[in-house]
Amino acid sequence: MRAIFLCGLLLSLLLTGCSSDQDSGAYNRGIYLLIDTSGTYTNELNKAQQIINYTLAKLNSGDTFVVASIDTASFSEKDIISKITFDDRPSKANQQKRIFKEKIDQYVKQVKSSRYTDITGGILQATEFLNERNSQTKTILIFSDLKEELKEGYIRDIPFTLQGFDVVALNVTKLRSDNIDPREYMDRLAEWSRRVEEGGGQWKVINDLERLDKLVQ
């Protein structure tokens, strides 16, 4: 009887051991950071660097981090500046973080501002990427003023599918027109919140970069 029990226990352990390899991704975090590079917002990129560094410091082995730019047509892999899934070994992951930081530093030095701002395309790209990765927590960070400006002919009135996603708007700066009529700013935020929540996602805004501790859960 005892032998049967032990065999059963061993078998169940083996089974769970095998199955754990398949869904190991379910315990990892996926973060996709969209950086607005349109117009004068490129001046804010040093703040984006801070956010990237902070996020890098907080991520662990197995987590995925992608930094992509928002430009005229953001629904493209070409806009991905750097992406990484950290190695299982912490020492290797630390090396990867250093390389990642260097890449971002280089990008910030030579970034060119784009004429248009395709935020929707960026979010769609992020959704697609993170769904492929099958991370347990999926977070899209949008470093932008949330003012979307699309090139003529681009169709972006597409509903989002954001079940299980956290969408965080960072450093949503007030434009000159917002200062004249603050309702514009509020409407802009409300509109994005509506779109995200209708898609099933969680919407959050963090303008104070001192509160980044809530950024990565």
Partner 1 sequence: MNIPASFLIVSNSPLLSLLLWFVLISALFYMARKPAHDAIISASRILFHAFRLGGASLVLAAKRLKVRNKEVLLAEGKVASERIIEREFERVNAAVTKDLSTFPALQRSISETVTEIDEDYHKSAEVPPVPPGWAKALEPIATISTADNSMVAEVLKSIKVTLDKGQEKALAEYRTSSKERHAWLKKMVPNLRQIEKGLSEANLCIKNLLERSSTIDRHMDEFEQINKGSNMVEQKLSSSSLTQFFISGFVLAIAIGGAIINFNLIARPMQEMVGGSVHMLGFRVADIAALVIILVEVSMGLFLMESLRITRLFPVIGALEDKVRFRMVIVSFVFLFLLASIESGLAYMRELLSQDDAALVAGLLGDVANNPVEMSGRWITMAAQMGMGFVLPFALTFVAIPLESFIHSLRTVLGVVFVGFLYLSAGLLRLLGNISRYSGKSLVNIYDLVIFLPLWVERTIVARNSIGVETGVAAENMTAFDSNSSKEQNYSKASTKKRMSRKVITKKTVKKGDDSSLTQTQEVLS
Q: Site residues (CB under 8 A) for partner 1? A: 16-17, 20-21, 24, 26-28, 53-54, 56-57, 60-63, 86, 88-91, 93-94, 97-98, 101
Minimum distance, C-beta of residue 157 to partner 1, in the bound complex (Å):
38
In the complex, least distance from residue 61 CB atom to partner 1, rounded to whole angstroms: 3
Comparing CB distances to partner 1, the nearer of 10 and 190 is 10
Contact 68, 125 (CB under 8 A): yes
Shorter beta-carbon distance to partner 1: residue 150 or 212: 212
Q: Of 132 and 187, which has the nearer Cβ to partner 1?
A: 132
Q: How far apart are CA 124 and CA 171, in angstroms?
A: 21
From CA 217, how far away is CA 33, in angstroms rounded?
Answer: 15
All residues at 6 or more sequence positions from 31 whose CB lies less than 8 Å from its CB, including other chains: 55, 59, 63, 64, 65, 66, 139, 141, 216
Nearer to partner 1, 89 or 194 (CB): 89
> In the bound complex, what is the minimum distance in angstroms from residue 26's beta carbon to partner 1?
8
Q: How far is the CB of 138 from partner 1 (least distance, A)?
A: 16
Residue 28 is given by DSSP the state S
Helix, strand or coil, per DSSP, at residue 17: helix
Q: How far apart are CA 2 and CA 206, in angstroms?
A: 58
Place of tokens 């892999």: 77
Q: Which is nearer to partner 1, 46 or 180 (CB)?
A: 46
Minimum Å distance from CB 45 to partner 1? 16
